[in-house]
Amino acid sequence: MKACALLLALSLLPADGAGPPEAAPAAPAEAARVEDSTDLQGEWSLSTTRIGGRDFPEESHGIVWIFEGGRVYRQSRRGRSLVGTYTLDLYQSPPVVDLHYADGLGVGRGVYHRAAGLLEWAEAPEDGRRPARPASEDGSRVTLRTLRRARP
């Protein structure tokens, strides 16, 4: 009986004697991209805001951005309001984030960098060019927000 089972097992192997093909391990870059999309979820305290290379500290004081299931909210002393929805393209470098404003302002095209609890998010107005990197140069219309992880 053991001989029959062995013959059956051998007959199922490819002619070259190789075993079944092994699944390829997940590429580290793809694993990081999946992690990115979920790691934006949660609350982020706004640390700084730069527009056109100029700092706007009053725009940052006490503001929390909340990424929740494809939606973005802005929390201030006056309450919580829906900013809009967002989409990510994690296969770009740097990753792309588009903010679809709920109040009819169109789409803010941006890029971001996230590391060690810090999120740098640069966004151009709808009629502007997407920034090449998370920065706000003098004279540009790019808004750069620097946020710190408040709660996942």
What is the average pLDDT value for the chain, to the nearest integer? Answer: 80
Across the strands, what pairs with 54?
A: 51
Assign a CATH topology to domain 27-151: Lipocalin (2.40.128)
- What is the C-alpha separation between 50 and 72, in angstroms, rounded? 19
Q: Is the pLDDT of residue 19 over 90?
A: no
pLDDT for res 78: 87
- Closest CA relative to residue 127, chosen from 106, 110, 112, 143: 106
What pLDDT, in 10s, does the model give residues 58-87? 777 789 999 998 999 999 888 899 999 999
pLDDT for res 60: 74
Across the strands, what pairs with 147?
A: 46, 119
Q: What percent of the chain has pLDDT over 70?
A: 76
What pLDDT, in 10s, does the model give residues 75-129? 988 889 999 999 999 899 999 999 999 988 789 999 999 988 999 999 998 788 9
pTM for the model: 0.72
- What is the C-alpha separation between 45 and 97, in angstroms, rounded? 18
- What is the C-alpha separation between 112 and 86, in angstroms, rounded? 13
